[in-house]
Chain A
Amino acid sequence: MRAAKLLAGLAAAVLLHLAGTRLWPSFPQHVDVFLVVVALSALEGSSLPALLFGLLAGLVQDTLTSGPFGLFGFADTAVAYGMARLAQRLVIQRATGVFAVVSFASLLQQVILAALAFLLLPNPSLPDPLGMLGQALAKAVACGSLGMLVYGLAGRFRLAIEARRRGRMGRLRLG
């Protein structure tokens, strides 16, 4: 059941990424939908599924970029594991907590990507450090906001389902 939920989340991320890029060409530059899904799945707290899902989501993202295959795979695997370990130590119940964690995950991912590009690629041509920092912060805020929104909507959906189930049980008892 959990695996199906994760795969559905990944499929939704792919569709959102493709549609976002189609409607707004600089969408991937400002929001990383895959990272948001990876970070949210890692918040469940179990590190093995989180890291495997991070690997899968990262490789999917690698398929859509022109960089070396495995660049996002590496970054997302590391971020997913880190976030899962963090979630084991923290109790995150508020949407603002989710915002902070997802934003942090986004920053961590961008640092890993920049470090990998700098160390392993022959001609990394990264933007100037100040511009890169500004861009990374803006992306982290956007990812955090999207994560908070998805978390809030998922919570509401869960509550609605629960209320409906309780209502049905109540009617059954009366009957």
Chain B
Amino acid sequence: MDERRTGYLLTVLLLGQLVLVAIEGARSTRSHTYAEVLGLRILGPAARLVSIAGGGAAEVGHKVRLQGQLLDENRRLHREVEELRLRLLRLGDIEQELARLGDAVRYSAPLLGEIRAVDVVYADHASWLRSLVLYTGSRAAAVNQPVLSPAGLVGRVVVVAGPYAKVQLVTDRAASVGGMILRTRRQGVVRGSGQEGGGLSLDYVSLAADVRPGDSVLTAGIDGVYPRGIPVGTVVAVEAGGQLFHKIRLAPAVDLGALDQVYLLEHAAPPQELVKAIPHARR
């Protein structure tokens, strides 16, 4: 092919990709293309292989170094399990009491569902376009499924390719979550800053609202994706942003750089009455 034809091909390819990026950039929700799913299906096993190899090597070294401490740790963990069992019994009582109180005032708690542990096979939390790839095993994840860690919210699934799933982190510049300040119940929108260090911001909180550094922010359960009550972050700075709203910066609840296992939140099926009333309701 001569240079002129190559030039035409280049123009077509660049224009095609420009249109693709422009369409995806303009969409409010993250979508995926078949090429991306195919790519994830091919790259997923490679990422898993590297993760297993890296994890295996690190584990062997770790075990050799810590062999002497393992017995002590085992004893300590046994004690902790006993304490947690007792605490679980107490919490079970409280849960039943809450359910009884809820019945008395005809209040139904939000649907939370169950959690399932899955492995992280690739994590890029440092670069400008950060992402996380999970291996979910035989049970595939679903798009928009919330991803959690014991410390709080990690993000949501945006692309599913068989046993692999790509996650949009809560710190991603395109991510937004309905948030709520725990102390005052004031709601706003948590957005990823996309900046180095992976900060968050809490937008649309009016200047009249009482917000202080140290306040905990949880999911508000108003965005149709995340249920209420998952820790998102802590307020680190409050500034007067404009004439209407505070400029609030948050530190994420989760250390996204130290994730090797996360939890997928399996949604409980919506009640039949709701499905009948609103056929297109997601949850």
Contacts and interface: CB of A to CB of B under 8 A. Distances in A.
Interface string A22-40: 1101111100000000000
B13 A51 contact: yes
Interface residues of B, number: 53
A20 to B, nearest CB: 10
A62 B33 CA distance: 11
Contacts of A64: 43, 47, 122, 124, 131, 133
Given A15-B46, A69-B33, A124-B173, A26 B126 contact: yes
B173 A63 contact: no
B35 A25 contact: no
Q: Which of A14, A23, A74, A131 is most buried by chain B, counting CB atoms within 10 A of its CB?
A: A74
Contacts of A109: none
A53 B167 CA distance: 27
A122 B126 CA distance: 21
B21 A116 contact: yes
B124 A70 contact: no
A152 interface: no
B140 to A, nearest CB: 17
A25 B125 contact: yes
A55 interface: yes
A25 B126 contact: yes
Given A77-B14, A120-B25, 4 more contacts: A64-B47, A68-B20, A70-B17, A125-B193
A70 B127 contact: no
Interface string B10-26: 10011001101110111
A126 B129 CA distance: 11
A81 interface: yes
Contacts of A69: 20-21, 24, 32-33, 35-36
A105 interface: no
B220 interface: no
A18 interface: yes
Interface string B175-217: 0000000000000000101111000000000000000000000
Contacts of A15: 46, 50
Contact of A22 (B51, B128, B131, B169): B51
B39 interface: yes
A19 B50 contact: yes
A78 B193 CA distance: 28
Contacts of A21: 122-124
Nearest to A75: B17
Nearest to B130: A66
A122 B122 CA distance: 26
B147 interface: no
A126 to B, nearest CB: 8
B35 A59 contact: yes
Given A19-B50, A29-B126, A73-B17, A65 B3 contact: no
A74 B14 contact: yes
B203 to A, nearest CB: 11
B10 A81 contact: yes
Contacts of A63: 36, 39-40, 43
Nearest to B192: A125
A57 B122 CA distance: 18
B236 interface: no
A22 B50 contact: yes
A110 to B, nearest CB: 10
A127 interface: yes
A121 interface: yes
A120 B123 contact: no
Contacts of B126: 25-29
Nearest to B32: A69
- 5 tightest CB-CB pairs across the interface, nearest first? A63-B39, A68-B24, A66-B131, A125-B194, A67-B129
